[in-house]
Structure 1
Amino acid sequence: MIEVDDAGPIWIITLNRPSKANALTAQMLSDLADVAERAASARAVILTGVGKVFSAGADLDAAKAGLATSPDWERLSGAIAALPGLTVAALNGTLAGGATGMALACDIRIAVPRASFFYPVMKLGYLPQPSDPLRMAALIGPARTKMVFAAGQKLGAQTALAYGLIDEIVEDEDVMVRALALCADVAAADPVHAQKIKAMCANVQ
């Protein structure tokens, strides 16, 4: 249910469980973390999904069985954040719950117009993954982060764009075209040069 195209300089990682809104099982989460950890050789990595939802977060049955507190969530987002290549979340639809962490860890986030964003940990009685509120606050500020995590606010794509949670809104049929275009220069450049430029951007205060 996790598909990986790693044949070229741009790796494409696809969530493919559309009948369950790409909700993650323990095995899917572990597989994602494994792929992210071995993607250091990629010039760029694109995360996307099949269907109308990027991911509904943890599969509810799996969450009740312990997935909600799995260390693999942090392993996944940490591995993505540490990648030397450019990382793009090409969000084909709604992003919810623990799956938010992998998108927050990416360098760039683009989304289709119908996408919405929410993280219902207050209502469900779970704590968010530790790095998720920190990364979100770095993008949209602490007060708006509290609106999402504490007040349970759902953000539409236009609001998410205005806040800075996503960087572009792209029509459905163009989201992967745009993601690949964003990675084109990095894929063609000397990898050391590309990695130095990414590192310089990350170090801006």
Structure 2
Amino acid sequence: MIGFDATGDLWTITLNRPDKANSLTPEMLETLSEITARTDLPKALILTGAGRVFSAGADLDAARAGLATSPLWERLSGQIAGLPCLTIAALNGTLAGGAFGMALACDLRLAVPGAKFFYPVMKLGFLPQPSDPARMASLIGPARAKMILMAGAKIGADEALSWGLIDRIAAPEALLGDARALAADACAATPAHIAAIKQLVVPD
């Protein structure tokens, strides 16, 4: 349910459960955590999904069994945020719920025109992952973060781009090509150079 291409300096991780809107199970989160905890890191990493939805968040059955409040989400987003390589979320469709964490933790976010963005924690009675509100607010500001997290706003790709939640809109057939093009300079650099520039942009 997780596709992984570790070819050369560019890795691609694919959520591959399209029949279930790429909803995430504990096993999928564990696999994602294992990959992003590896020490033989690439120079760039692309995170994407199969089908027309990036991820609907937690698998419903797993959420009822406790996944909605699992520390796995925060561990994964923390690992992605801490990677010294360039990380790109290539959002092939809608991004919802707990899946927000891994996308917010990436350096860049691309999305297809039909993507929707929503995080219905208020309605569902859960708290968001601990680091998500701050990461979201740093991109779009506190009021817009509250619109998504507290008012249940569901926004489209054009609005997400104007807010700064995503960085570029790409046609579905061009999404991965655009992500690879953005990764090209990093793949031609040294790991130390990549890590140094990333540290300058967002110092600890």
Q: Normalising by the residue count of structure 2, what TM-score does the alignment of the two structures yield?
A: 0.98
Conserved in 2, the CA contact under 8 Å of 1:10 and 1:187? yes
What does residue 147 of structure 1 align with? 147
When structure 1 is superposed on structure 2, of 190-199 and 140-149 the one drifting more is 190-199
Q: CA deviation at 1:7?
A: 2.4
Q: Residue 24 of structure 1 aligns to a residue in which SS?
A: coil
Cα deviation 1:62-101 (Å, max 9, x = unaligned): 0010000111100100000000000000000000000000
Q: CA deviation at 1:184?
A: 0.5
Q: Residue 41 of structure 1 aligns to a residue in which SS?
A: coil
Matches within 5 A, 1:1-205: 1-38=1-38, 41-203=41-203
Q: CA deviation at 1:192?
A: 1.0
Q: CA deviation at 1:203?
A: 3.1
Q: How many aligned residue pairs are there?
A: 204
Structure 2: stretches of 5+ with no match in the other structure: none
Q: Residue 166 of structure 2 aligns to a residue in which SS?
A: coil
When structure 1 is superposed on structure 2, of 187-196 and 152-161 the one drifting more is 187-196
Question: Which aligned segments of 4 or more residues in structure 1 are displaced greater than 3 angstroms?
Answer: none
Conserved in 2, the CA contact under 8 Å of 1:119 and 1:148? yes
Structure 1: stretches of 5+ with no match in the other structure: none
Identity of paired residues, percent?
Answer: 64
CA RMSD of aligned residues (A): 1.1
- The 1:196–1:40 alpha-carbon spacing in structure 2 relative to 1, beyond 3 Å, is farther
Aligned mates of 1:39, 1:9 — CA distance in 2: 13
Q: Residue 114 of structure 2 aligns to a residue in which SS?
A: coil
Q: For residue 115 of structure 1, what is the amino acid of its counterpart?
A: A
Q: CA deviation at 1:39?
A: 5.9
Q: Residue 113 of structure 1 aligns to a residue in which SS?
A: coil
Cα deviation 1:2-26 (Å, max 9, x = unaligned): 0111121111000000000000011
Aligned mates of 2:158, 2:186 — CA distance in 1: 28
Q: Residue 109 of structure 1 aligns to a residue in which SS?
A: strand
When structure 1 is superposed on structure 2, of 191-200 and 8-17 the one drifting more is 191-200
Aligned mates of 2:7, 2:156 — CA distance in 1: 35
